[in-house]
A = this chain, B = another copy of it.
């Protein structure tokens, strides 16, 4: 391994000078700078990141940790794409932590992880009191995407309102028996989206004087298959319904295929509205509540980058708008 010493010898200067060139300190003559640069080139030297971090007071790692549950889901993919599009233009690289179980979450909020990065983006996970304290102690900036906490910069949408808009629209267009396919209302990892959307559904129904029928509510996973099964279950229960609101497009697509399979016409017999507006939704003509997935990621990443630059004024709580997109299924 080639070290700064080798470079110093090759260039005929001291290691201090080499270091200064490396950190382009102004206090070094053009002449020696050239010599050192040449030596570096000749030897193909690249400074040890580890030694560097140790010597500098500030343990800069140039790494941003991203914590995301089930990162293979469409929503998280889109958020990740947004984050990545910003970060890949900086000189930070990405540490990715996929959390699917409680243990994973615990592992992430540890010194080991925080020691190795300069900042963190947490997607969709709720920050508990203990975790918040821990983060504060590390002193490193953390921004929340699709989640809210008073003490951390957050970029999010109003999930309750989104669901409210969708269900209200269904009601306005004459639907009276509205089924609801959601993720787990009490998510063990603390993803609040399903819960908030549940609240929105309740509010819209209450406002219209309609009753919420728990038998028309299915809690299930975020996949096409799970949506398909939810559709089957709803049909099997034999309770009539004329609309389905789903907490994700992928579930909605699954529900839709189950209904179509049973000979139901959409939207004549049953209207369907999803959530997210993934690209498939456009092509399938699925009505949905569009949330700016990529943008949430982008904005979150930008905010973190600013915080890392020390721009404290970039602390922010930003709500991005949702949009009800009506297509062919409602």
Contacts and interface: CB of A to CB of B under 8 A. Distances in A.
Interface in A87-101: 88, 93-98, 100
A-B pairs with lowest CB-CB distance, top 4: A46-B111, A72-B81, A50-B53, A94-B96
A300 B279 CA distance: 30
A148 B67 CA distance: 31
Interface in A48-105: 48-51, 53-54, 59, 63, 71-72, 77-78, 80-81, 84, 88, 93-98, 100, 104
Interface string A147-178: 00000000000000000000000000000000
Given A50-B54, A51-B54, A95-B96, 13 more contacts: A46-B115, A48-B54, A50-B50, A50-B59, A54-B54, A71-B80, A71-B84, A88-B98, A93-B95, A224-B283, A225-B279, A254-B283, A257-B284
Given A50-B50, A98-B84, A279 B115 contact: no
Interface string A93-137: 111111010001000001111011000000000000000000000
A312 interface: no
A90 to B, nearest CB: 12
A115 B48 contact: yes
Nearest to A72: B81
Contacts of A94: 95-97
Given A88-B98, A93-B95, A96-B96, A279 B224 contact: yes
A98 B104 CA distance: 24
B88 A77 contact: no
Contacts of A96: 93-96
Interface residues of A, number: 42
B116 A49 contact: yes
A112 B283 contact: no
A195 interface: no
A228 interface: yes
Given A50-B50, A51-B54, A95-B93, A279 B223 contact: yes
A71 B50 CA distance: 29
A38 interface: no
A319 interface: no
A280 interface: yes
A55 to B, nearest CB: 9
6 contacts: A49-B116, A54-B54, A77-B77, A88-B98, A94-B97, A96-B96
Given A46-B111, A59-B50, A97 B104 contact: no
